[in-house]
Amino acid sequence: MKDSVRSSSLARTTSTIALAIGLMLPAGALAQTAPTGPGAEATNAQPAATDMASTQAQASPPSAATADDIVVTGIRASLERSISIKRNSTGIVDAISSEDIGKFPDTNLAESLQRVTGVSINRRNGEGAQVTVRGFGPDYNMVTLNGRQLAASDQTSVGGENDFTRSTGRSFDFSNLASEGVRTLEVYKTGRAAIPSGGIGAAINVVTRRPLDARESGFNGSIGGKVDYDTSADDCIKCGSHATPNLSGLLSWSNPAQTFGVSLFGSYQVRHFSAMSASVNGWNISSLADLLSPSGSHVSASTKVQNAPSDLNALVARPDDARYHFAEDSNQRINLNGTLQFKPTDTLTLTADGLFAQNRASERRSDEANWFQAAPFDVIGFDKGYQGVYTATYLHETNGGQKDSGAEQQYRAQKNVLKDFGGNIKWDVTDHFTLTADGHIGSSDSTPDNPNGMSSTLASISIPTLNQHSWDYSGNGFPVQTVQFLDPPGGKGNGNGILDVGDLGSQVGRQIATSLRQRIKEGRLDAGWDLGGGSRFDFGGDYRATDTRSQQTVYNQTLGDWGNSFPRDVQAIAPGQVNQFCLVCQFTHFDPKASGDDLVAFRTEDATKLYNALSSYYAAHGQPVAINGYSNDRIKEDIWAIYGQFTWKGEIAGHNASMVAGARYEHTTVNSSGITYAPADIRWQSDNDFTQDLIFDTKYLQTTSGTGKYSNLLPSLDFQLEIKQNLIGRFSFSKTIARPTYNNLFTSASVTNPNDATFVGGQAGGSQGNPGLLPLSSDNFDVSLEWYFKPDSYISVGFFDKRVQNFIGTSVVKKSLYGLRDPTSGTGGRSGTANTQLQSIGADVNDTNLFVYTALLDKYQGSTAAATQEFQQNYNVANRQLNLDYVNLVNNTYDVVANSNDPFFQFNVSQPTNNKSAEIYGVELAGQYFFGGTGIGVAAQYTLVRGNIAVDVAAPINADQFALVGLSDTANATLIYNKYGISARLSYNWRDKFLSAVNADGFHSPRFTAPHSQVDFNVSYDITPHIAVSVEGINIFEDGLKVYGRSPNEIFFMQEGTARYLAGARFKF
């Protein structure tokens, strides 16, 4: 009789599944099961119930709970749930849980994650964006939503120095997701057979709420609103209000029988802010002997060289330019999330869900920039040296009122859109056997979003009357720039004797359109067999397909040109669009010691309007917009996997013990293709300015493709033993992989303009990817000891060791590309003749003189007599310089294009290769303690990370180096109070310096991010069991950002930090 009933029930259940699959196919044809580790419970796709049993038990409120149970809310309850997840998990798992419905501990998910041991974050525009785990950066961590891999397109066009950057990594930007819709963040630091590969650092799972999680019928949820007040939104043209809205709502409903439920979440957030920053575009690295060489142009007999190193072979660094920036930014984030659950029988659960997230960011930026002519310096002063590198921290040069100073105007904007739609079926075939099918399709698009449809629009304008300027970074804080202008009658300005808008001349206009798009399809089928006594066997397979496209087009237009061929044109062509203001006055904490002309800068309300006015005028006068760069690359990856995993629970010598052992086999195929237009030539425009001539003709079209494939067997073992009551020891071993970043897989070859004439040391670069790269492969060992001496208090210490093979290094070879010839070599062709003639007349062979003489050879059709005569007529023998007005005239009149007599460019072409290995190891310390019934508690974590890889900052400028980006120590401490309806937290977070880029320029210089700390607070008060008010402060001490090169004095980018304060209320029902 029982067999007959079971057969009938099985038939009905099978029919229901078939109908459900038919209904779900249009939305989720590419079904994928959630990973057995992250999010299995949230998606009901978890065959290995032991992986997430603790998460489900702790993150969901007990069935007996009611809406009035204050005990299950607040920061203390959140910490208790997180501890329970950590304690009951097999392997090394940490979690952050929501404090209540619609209330996560932080407004930003990344900010919450930094309080997990081993996790540090990268901030962007003052908000947490990316995470690094145990020294492995954002590209080496897998991020999932309810167990499904999220599509990622982290193109960064707004903030920092990102105009021409193509973000081609695998990182996920957590700032796209609102924290109010999240139930739990889970960080899996050890590999598991049931978890898809991709995270050597960790697998991070974002778990959202499901309607049947609450186990309560009827409606429940919350509605919240905050006012976001940013202290930096001062003196902006279009920043908007200091105070902006931050709204969110979560609504869930289920029927009394708990067989059907619907949940909806939505949020709308706006933020306005501004930022002051300083930057240097590039650092020229050479030996001291080269810098001081009499044949060069950097110093003369009158130059004061201060504090120079005694070793002429020592490396010295000097900035090419110096810049201040004032940026006015706005962010708008919209999140929508919906889930539908249907449970027609006790053994069958159907789930469908969808996510939409949009983040729009815009930035209006005004610059104050000065280039160093270096021909020659009046004064150059060095610091005391740092690990063998001496940096010029003081520079002064006199230009006689004939040089220009930059006032570039920019408008950057980007729109990120993330979508994900999926379905899940969980069928308890018997009391001991479960089948789960899961699938989803997702997309992520990062696209241009300014009014011209670009990622960035730049209108370069200049003040053409610079007399002298200096740069001083010998003190603390930001570098100090000083400027002095002349505006006499008959000069390039308007001759009224003061610095004003009427002096401004246009230079060039540039626009960049950069996009990154990814599509993902996943399908998964899992089976779980309960063996009894807590033991089980899980097995299954999955398929993932990703399609990633990166595209960039760079537009360039000559306006008044770099030397101001048409001075004072800005006011004439675009009247009223540019206004005078004090840029350096926008510093909050730094005193630039400004006076006189230092206090004068210029800005426009909308750089796209200014660009359009200037562009239209010059296009109508024979200077059209040209495409200056184009790339279109595509990577398709297909991953097939099967796995088996055995879970055992029992006792060893009377002590509770558990073990999870398994293996995963994956096969990956890679197809890479690229389309690019090779430059027709590299045009020499002036001393150190170059441009590429791109002609959109099939003659120059380059189409490339390549493939790769690899297979990996990934075993894993997690063992846990309760040594004594509440004292738990763990040991884990796993093999994990992380796939190469997309740019390393691109097949198209790119060409980089030389940074100067090659005869005076300029380097032309190039790069090409390698689709045959293998993934990074790591053998991971973890040991930890954890003592849970109270439900809300614990101490833990852990050691990890990662032995990584197939790290991606770089091989650099010198070779020609696309038949491009070098007009600057000084060894052949016209520049070779120019070199010989300059030496014969006793003139310095620097980039300015070499360009001018070469251009004169073009002018006089190769006549050295005529070229020499004109050159000498404009050359001052006394100060060994050409007249600057004459130099600007030549720069604006002539471009030098290579011909068949010039030698081929020798490009330093870099290509990635699997040629490195490393060991990364460290210690994680964590603890939490509440002082009895006082409501006061403390929590702290410290992570020490070390490795046998490091950068040598004193390495030769042609030495290619290998190091792990992102490796650093981290620490945090939190003071907590939770009693009488008050929930308060004061948090301190610190991250040590870390390497943020390697081989970052033509001089193979590294880039480091300086140590950073931040203090936040959060206080809420429950007025009633249903109504709470809160106030938050973020970065209340306004710590900033600093990125530097070989020496801490070799700054690339510095930004002042700003504080944010939020006040709000939340209603729970």
Condensed to tens digits (0 to 9), the pLDDT of residues 966-1000 reads 899 999 999 999 999 999 999 999 999 999 888 77
Tell me: pLDDT of 5 over 50: no
Which residue in 197, 208, 21 sits closest to 97, CA to CA?
208
Is residue 866 one of the residues assigned to a domain?
Answer: yes
Is residue 21 one of the residues assigned to a domain?
Answer: no
CATH number for the domain including 661?
Answer: 2.40.170.20
Say if residue 871 is in the same domain as residue 913: no
Say if residue 889 is in the same domain as residue 937: no
Tell me the Ramachandran region of residue 159: left when phi exceeds 0, alpha when psi lies from -120 to 50, beta otherwise.
left
Tell me: pLDDT of 723 over 50: yes
Tell me the three state secondary structure of residue 704. strand
- pLDDT digits 0-9 by tens, 277-303: 999 988 999 999 999 988 777 888 899
Judging by DSSP bridges, how do beta strands 907-930 and 765-768 pair with one another? parallel
Torsion angle in degrees (nearest 10) through CA of 660, 663, 669, 672: 40
Say if residue 337 is in the same domain as residue 418: yes
DSSP notation for 364-417: EEEEEEEE---SS-SEEEE-S-BTTEEEEEEEEEEEEEEEEEE--EEEEEEEEE
Q: CA-CA distance, 708 to 914, in Å (whole number)?
A: 13
Is residue 899 one of the residues assigned to a domain?
Answer: no
Which H or E element spans position 1035?
A: none
Say if residue 888 is in the same domain as residue 914: no
pLDDT of residue 54: 33
- pLDDT digits 0-9 by tens, 875-919: 998 888 999 889 999 999 999 999 999 999 999 988 899 988 999
- pLDDT digits 0-9 by tens, 59-112: 333 333 333 333 335 788 888 888 888 898 888 999 888 876 667 777 788 888
Is residue 65 one of the residues assigned to a domain?
Answer: yes
Q: Which residue has the tokens 């939505």?
A: 266
Q: CA-CA distance, 423 to 339, in Å (whole number)?
A: 10
Is residue 22 one of the residues assigned to a domain?
Answer: no
Tell me the Ramachandran region of residue 218: left when phi exceeds 0, alpha when psi lies from -120 to 50, beta otherwise.
left
Is residue 227 one of the residues assigned to a domain?
Answer: yes
Asked if 635 contacts 745 with a C-beta cutoff of 8 angstroms, the reply is yes
Mean pLDDT of the chain: 88
Q: Which residue has the tokens 């709308």?
A: 268
Tell me: pLDDT of 377 over 70: yes
Can you give the C-alpha Rg of the chain in angstroms?
Answer: 31
Q: CA-CA distance, 976 to 298, in Å (whole number)?
A: 58
Say if residue 911 is in the same domain as residue 1055: yes
Q: CA-CA distance, 381 to 607, in Å (whole number)?
A: 37
Q: CA-CA distance, 763 to 239, in Å (whole number)?
A: 41
Say if residue 834 is in the same domain as residue 967: no
Q: How many residues in total does the chain contain? A: 1069
Residue 56 pLDDT grade (very low, low, confident, very high; cuts 50, 70, 90): very low
Higher pLDDT, 401 or 590: 590
Domain total of the chain: 2
DSSP notation for 222-290: EEEEEEEEETT--S-SS---SEEEEEEEEEEEE-TTSSEEEEEEEEEEEEEEEEEEEE-S-EEEEEHHH
Q: CA-CA distance, 486 to 1064, in Å (whole number)?
A: 53
Phi (first) and psi of residue 737, to 5 degrees:
-130, 160
- pLDDT digits 0-9 by tens, 814-863: 889 889 999 999 999 999 999 999 999 999 999 999 999 999 999 999 99
Is residue 16 one of the residues assigned to a domain?
Answer: no
**Structural domain of 345:** 31-820+904-1069
Residue 619 pLDDT grade (very low, low, confident, very high; cuts 50, 70, 90): very high
Phi (first) and psi of residue 952, to 5 degrees:
-95, 105
Percent of the chain with pLDDT over 90: 66
Tell me the three state secondary structure of residue 641. strand
Say if residue 708 is in the same domain as residue 852: no
Say if residue 375 is in the same domain as residue 424: yes
Tell me: pLDDT of 13 over 50: no
Say if residue 729 is in the same domain as residue 847: no
Residue 162 pLDDT grade (very low, low, confident, very high; cuts 50, 70, 90): low
pLDDT of residue 235: 65
Could you tell me the pTM of the whole model?
0.84
pLDDT of residue 981: 92
Range in 90-94, 171-175, 229-233, 1044-1048 the model is least confident about: 229-233
Is residue 14 one of the residues assigned to a domain?
Answer: no
Say if residue 630 is in the same domain as residue 610: yes
Q: CA-CA distance, 406 to 566, in Å (whole number)?
A: 15
- pLDDT digits 0-9 by tens, 746-796: 998 889 899 899 999 899 999 889 999 999 999 999 999 999 999 899 999
The residues with which 124 forms a beta bridge, in sequence order, are 127
Say if residue 180 is in the same domain as residue 327: yes
Say if residue 847 is in the same domain as residue 936: no
- pLDDT digits 0-9 by tens, 678-722: 899 999 999 889 999 888 888 888 899 999 999 999 999 999 999
Percent of the chain with pLDDT over 70: 92
pLDDT of residue 240: 67
